[in-house]
Structure 1
Amino acid sequence: MRLTDWQLAFEQHLLSETAVANSGFAATLLGGPTLDVDTGLAIYHNAYVSRLQEVLRHDFGAIWYWLGDDEFALLTQAYVRRYPSAHYSLRWLGERFPAFIVEHLVAEQSAPLAELARLEWAFTLAFDAPQGEPLTLNDMAQLPPEAWPGLQVALAPSVQQMLCHFNTVAIWRASKDESDFPDSHSLELAQVCLVWRHQNVCHYRSLEPSEACALAGMVATGWSFSELCAELAVTYKEGAPLQAVTWLKQWIQDGLLEFRAS
C-alpha cells in the first residue's frame, strides 16, 4: 500500500461511524506487546471524535450547559459525522452547527437552541475579526463643524448583528454565570443583539427598537448625520439632534463604528 493510500485509509477510519477498522487497512499494521491493532485504531478513532467535541464544548458552552453532557455529546457526535472538519484550523469547526441544529431537531426544540448557537458563534466571529479603525471620541472632537451634516459611518469589522426571537441573551448569561437556567420563551418583540470586540474584549448588548432602527439607518441604509436627525425628528421633535448625538457618542464609546469609505 502506498503512503498516500494508507493516509486516505486512516482518514476514512477516523471519519467512519464505527471504531472498528476495515480489515484490509488493519492488516497493514502491526500491534505491540500490550496493544493490538484493533484496540489501537479504536483509541485513535474515539480520540479524534473526542477532540472535535472538546472544541465544540468550548465554542458552544451555553448549548452544553443547556443540554448537559449526554445530550450534547450525542448532538455533537451527529454533527461531526454530518459535517466533518474540512478546514486545517479547528476554529471553523462549528460554522455549520446552528444550521445543523435546525436540520437535526424538531422545530419547537431547534428554534431557541439554534438561536443560542448563532449567538455563541457571533462571539467567535467577533473575537477573530480584523481590528479595523474604530472611531474614537477624539476623532469626533477633531471633526470640523461643517463635516458633521454629511458624516457617514459603517460598522467596525468585528460587529455581529442578530435578531433574537427568544430570551437567548438571558440564557447565555446564565450559562456564563453558572446560575439558575431560565426557561426558554419567545419575546413579545424581537430584539437586535450586537456582539463585538473592543480593546481585545468581546462585548454584547441588546438594542431597543428605536436605537436599532437608527443604527441600521446609518450603517445599512447609509444615512448621513443630518439624515439621522431628520428621521428622529418625527419622534423626538426638537430633541432629535440631542438624541442623535447621544446615540452616536454611545456607539463610538463602544467601538462599534468607523468612518464609511468614500
Structure 2
Amino acid sequence: MRLTDWQLAFEQHLLSETPVANSGFAATLLGGPTLDIDTGLAIYHNAYLSRLLEVLRHDFGAVWYWLGDDEFASLAEAYVRRYPSAHYSLRWLGERFPLFIVEHLVAEQSAPLAELAQLEWAFTLAFDAPQGELLGLNDMAQLPPEDWPGLQVTLAPSVQQLLCQFNSVSIWRASKDESDFPGSHMLTPAQTCLVWRHENVCHYRSLESAEAFALVGMVTTGWSFSELCAELAVTYAEGAPLQAVTWLKQWVQDGLLERRA
C-alpha cells in the first residue's frame, strides 16, 4: 500500500461512524506488546471525534448550555459526520454549524437555536478579523469643517451585524454568567446586535431601531454625514445634527468605523 493510500484509509477510519477498522486497512498495521491493532485504532477514532466535539463545545458554549451534554453531543456528532473538518485549522470547524442546525432540526427548534449559534460564531469572526484602519476621536477632531458634509464611513473588519429575532443575547449572557436558563422567546421588534473586537477584546451591543437605521444608512447605503442629518431630520427636526454627531462619536469611540475610501 502506498503512503497516500494508507493516509486516505486512515482518514476514512477516523471519519467513519464506527471505531471498528476496515479489515484490509488493519492488516497493514503492526500491533504492539501492550496494545493490539483494533484497540489502538479505536482509540484514535474516539480521540479524534472527542477533540472535534471539544472544539464545538468551546465555540458554541451557549448552545451547549441550552441543550445540555447529551443533546449537544448528539447534535455535534451529527454535524461533524455531515460536514467533516476540511481545513487544516480547527478554527473553521464550526463555520456551517448554524446552517446545519436549520437543516437538522424542525423549524420551531432550529430558528432560535441557529440564531444563537450565529451569534456565537460572530464572536469567533470578530476575534480573528484583521485590525483595519479605525477612525479615532483625534481623527474626527482634526477633520476640517468643509469635509464634514461629505464624510462617509464603513464598518471596521471585525464588526459583525446580526438581526436577532429572539432573545439570543440574553441566553448567551446567561451561559457566560452560568445563571438559570432564561427561556427562549421572540423579540418584538427584532433587534440589531453588533459584535466587534476593539483593543483585542470582543464587545457586543444591541441597537435601538433608530440607531440601527442610522448606522445601516451610513455603512451599507453609503450616506454621507449631511445625508444622515437629512434622514434624521424627519424624526429629530432641528436636533438631527446633534443626534447624528452623538451617534457618530459613539461609533468611533467604540471602534466600529473606518473612513470610506
TM value normalised by structure 2: 0.99
Tell me which residue corresponds to 1:229: 229
Amino acid at match of 1:52: L
Q: Distance in 1 between matches of 2:243 and 2:127?
A: 30
Give, in whole Å, the separation in 2 of the partners of 1:130 and 1:206: 23
The runs of 4+ residues in structure 1 deviating greater than 2 Å are none
Residue of structure 2 in register with 1:165 after alignment? 165
Query: CA–CA distance in 2 between the matches of 1:139 and 1:218?
Result: 18
2:239 partner letter: G
Tell me how far 1:32 sits from its aligned partner. Answer: 1.5
Asked whether 1:192 is paired with 2:192, we answer yes
What are the Cα deviations for residues 145-185 of structure 1, in whole angstroms up to 9, with x where unaligned? 11001100000000000100000000000000101110100
Partner of 1:121: 121
1:99 correspondence with 2:95 = no
For residues 4 and 228 of structure 1, the distance between their equivalents in structure 2, rounded to whole angstroms, comes to: 60
Give the 3-state SS of the residue equivalent to 2:25 in structure 1.
helix
The amino acid that maps onto 2:247 is W
Q: Distance in 1 between matches of 2:4 and 2:201?
A: 43
Matches of 1:147 and 1:221 in 2, distance apart?
A: 19
| Letter matched to residue 213 of structure 1 | F
Deviations 1:34-80 (A, max 9, x none): 21111110000000000011111111011111111111111110000
Structure 1 position 83, deviation (Å): 0.2
Task: Trace 1:63-102 onto structure 2 (pairs within 5 A).
Answer: 63-102=63-102
The structural deviation recorded for 1:200 is 0.5
Shift of 1:207: 0.4
Specify the code of the residue in structure 2 equivalent to 1:153. Answer: V
Q: CA deviation at 1:33?
A: 1.8
Count of residues paired in the alignment: 261
In structure 2, the residue matched to 1:34 is 34
Residue in structure 2 matched with residue 141 of structure 1 by the alignment: 141
The alignment's C-alpha RMSD in Å is 0.6
Partner amino acid for 1:254?
Answer: D
1:174 and 1:159 map into 2 onto residues whose CA distance is 23
What is the TM-score normalised by the length of structure 1?
A: 0.99
Residue 30 of structure 1 and its aligned partner are, at CA, apart by: 1.3
Residue 188 of structure 1 and its aligned partner are, at CA, apart by: 1.3
Cα distance between partner residues in 2 of 1:186 and 1:41:
47
Unaligned regions of 5+ residues in structure 1, if any? none
For residues 70-122 of structure 1, the C-alpha deviation after alignment (integer angstroms, 9 at most, x for no partner) is 11111110000000000111110000000000001111111100000000000
How far the C-alpha of 1:226 sits from its partner, in A, is: 0.5
